[in-house]
Amino acid sequence: CAFWVTVYLPAADFYPNQEHFANVVGAYTQLIVAGLAGFIVGQTINAWAVVKIKEHTKEKHLWARLVGSTFAGQLGDTLVFCSIAAGAIGIHTFSDFATYTALGWFYKTGVEVVMLPITYRVIAYVKHHEPTYTALV
C-alpha cells in the first residue's frame, strides 16, 4: 500500500525514472498478490487432499498422502500464481504459460519426492514424541 502511495505522489523534480518506478511497483504488487493467492489455494487443496487420501489409506501409504497431496496442491498453487503473475514474469503466450506451469509444478512435486526420506524421519520423530498422537485404525 505504501508503495502505491509513492507512485501516485508527485515525483521529485530531479528524479527522471518515475515511470520505471511505477512499473516495478506494479509488477511487485502483482507478484505479491499472485504468491499469496497461489499459496492459499495450494495449501487448501493440499490439506483437503491429504485428509481424503488418509481416509482411504488410514496409517498406511504415507508416501501416497505426501506426494498425492503435493501433486494436487502444487498444481493449484502454480496455476493460480501463473495466471495472476503472467504479465509480471514475462508470460505472454499460452505455450509459455503451459511450459512455465508444467515445469514449476513438476519441480515442486519433485522436491517433495526427493525430501520423502527426511519427511519420514521427521514424522516418525513427532509421532513418537507427541503424547496426544493416536493412530487412525
At 39-98, the pLDDT tens digits run: 999 999 999 999 999 999 988 999 999 999 999 999 999 999 999 999 888 899 999 999
Q: In this structure, is residue 51 part of a structural domain? A: yes
Its domain, for residue 21, covers: 2-129
More confidently predicted of 37 and 11: 37
Is residue 54 situated within a structural domain?
Answer: yes
3-state secondary structure the chain: CHHHHHHHCCCCCCCCCHHHHHHHHHHHHHHHHHHHHHHHHHHHHHHHHHHHHHHHHCCCCHHHHHHHHHHHHHHHHHHHHHHHHCCCCCCCCHHHHHHHHHHHHHHHHHHHHHHHHHHHHHHHHHHHHCCCCCCCC
106 pLDDT exceeds 70?
Answer: yes
Q: How many domains does the chain have?
A: 1
Look at residue 124 and tell me if it is in a domain.
yes
Residue 135 in domain: no
Is the pLDDT at 9 greater than 80, yes or no? no
**d(C-alpha 60, C-alpha 53), whole Å:** 10
10/94: higher pLDDT: 94
Look at residue 64 and tell me if it is in a domain.
yes
Residue 111: inside a domain: yes
99, part of any domain: yes
Q: What percent of the chain is modeled with pLDDT above 70?
A: 93
Is 134 inside any structural domain? no
Could you tell me the pLDDT band of residue 17, with boundaries at 50, 70 and 90?
Answer: confident
Helices and strands per DSSP (H, E), number in the chain: 4, 0
